[in-house]
Amino acid sequence: MITTFDGLVGDTVTIALAATQRFANPALSNDGAGTYTAQAGENDGTPGSTTGTLGSTWNFSYFIGIDGDGDSTIADYGITLFYDLDPAADTDSAAMGTFDGFPLVTQRQWGGSENAGFGYLASGIPGVVTPPSFASFNPFAAGEYSFAIVSQFNQAPEVVAMNVNVEASPVPVPATLALMALGLAALGYSRRNAG
C-alpha cells in the first residue's frame, strides 16, 4: 500500500507498507486492497540454512521518502509506524506498538524490513520503539496482524495501512502418510512382541 501527499514547499512525501516472504519461505498473496496472506510458521534458525534466522515466515516492510526541491526531512512530518503482534482481528491502534523514533530521522528516505518475531518489537527501545499491549508474538498463531504509517503533518493525518492474515499451515500429505505408516509399523511391532 502506498500514498503520497504534498509536503513542505517543493516536496512530495511518499509512505508505503508491504508484506513479503522471509528468505526461502512460501510467497505471500496480496489482494491488492491492503491484505496479504501468509502461512504460519517460523524459520529454523540453523546457521547457513536457506531459511535464515528464527522469526516468522513473513516480514513487514516500510518506506518513507521525500522527493522535490525542498529541504524538509522525515522529522518534519510527525510520522509514526504502528505494528500489531496480537493475532486477534481489529486490534485498536492504542494497543499497537509504535516506532516513535522517526522524529530523530533527519534524512529524506528511510525504510526497512522487520519481522514480528524480532525481540525488540516486544520489549521496546526507550524513545524509539514502544511495545504493544499484547507483546508476545507467536509465529504459529493464525490470525490478523495490522500495520499502519501515520503522518500528522498539517493536523490532517495521512495514513497508509495493511493487514497480514496468517493461515495455519496444513501438514503436507507426504508427511501425514509417513507418520501414519510409522504408527502402523509401531502398532504391528507392539502386537508381535505382546503375543
pLDDT of 123 strictly over 70: yes
Q: Decide: 17 and 61 in contact? Cβ < 8 Å.
A: yes
Q: Is residue 139 part of a domain?
A: yes
pLDDT of residue 68: 95
More confident residue, 190 or 165: 165
For the chain, the domain total comes to: 1
Instruction: Return mean pLDDT, the chain.
Output: 85
CB atoms near residue 153 (< 10 Å): 18
Q: Is residue 179 part of a domain?
A: no
**Domain span including residue 14:** 2-170
Confidence bin at 31 (pLDDT 50/70/90):
very high
Q: Is residue 195 part of a domain?
A: no
Average pLDDT over residues 152-156: 79
pLDDT of 94 strictly over 60: yes
The set of cell numbers assigned to 9 is 514547499
Q: What is the pLDDT of residues 43-67, one digit of tens each?
A: 765 555 555 567 898 999 999 999 9
Q: How far is CA 62 from the centre of its chain?
A: 10
We report the CATH number of the domain holding residue 36 as 2.70.50
Q: Is residue 188 part of a domain?
A: no
